Chain A
């Protein structure tokens, strides 16, 4: 079965540089999420999109932005990178079900490990 595809797997950047992470959700999944996971931490929600529109915003810094395109893939753009941005970045997708019809699980990609030096 198709899974969530993230690229690149690893990324090394210097401080103040920019980075773009890409995510291809599972086909027919209409909701995409971005999470940031620091070493030894639980995943922190950054932002989500439902049907290509931003649906929820978490602890995403102003230096970061994200969008979802017409083909449902999503990109997380990170500018003015800081050492503290070094983390594992996950994209996940799910199927948004109408209320009362249950809740679809999140399916995660393998993550992008960003190292800022």
Chain B
């Protein structure tokens, strides 16, 4: 089974509007971390935001917030006030905290295009 599922291959948003990128995950581990990364066309992977499974509040980092619904196993990324520079691939990832290995699991990504 897929550990991370991103069901939106591509999304479009008008500049200055908010957009939600979906991510669902699958784990039986009580301790895990969820991450979002941005990959612009230049290729680098930029860490955006992190949510721990024990965190009581949704994570926020500037214009990024994570809508964490533990019971639904979803960790959607919300980008407010979209900017042209937000156009990129966005990857959701997870690491299980008690995993004896060190793997991070990535989703297949969502390509976001911000329209002027």
Contact = CB atoms under 8 A, between A and B. Distances in A.
Interface of A: 31, 33, 41-43, 45, 48, 50, 55-56, 58, 88, 90, 92, 94, 96, 99-100, 102-108, 110-111, 113
B contact residues, range:
20 to 34
A99 B31 contact: yes
A105 B47 contact: yes
A50 B45 contact: no
B21 interface: no
A114 B95 CA distance: 27
Nearest to B45: A108
B98 interface: yes
Interface of B: 31-33, 35, 37, 43-47, 50, 52, 54, 91, 93, 95, 97-98, 101-104, 106-109
B50 A105 contact: yes
A43 B105 CA distance: 9
A103 B32 contact: yes
Nearest to A48: B102
A65 B114 CA distance: 40
A45 B103 contact: yes
A106 to B, nearest CB: 5
B108 A33 contact: no
A64 to B, nearest CB: 17
Given A48-B101, A56-B101, A108-B47, A42 B106 contact: yes
A100 B104 CA distance: 17
A42 B101 CA distance: 20
Contact of B35 (A33, A50, A105): A105
A69 B72 CA distance: 42
Nearest to A108: B45
A109 B97 CA distance: 23
Contacts of B93: 106
A94 B104 CA distance: 11
A56 B93 CA distance: 17
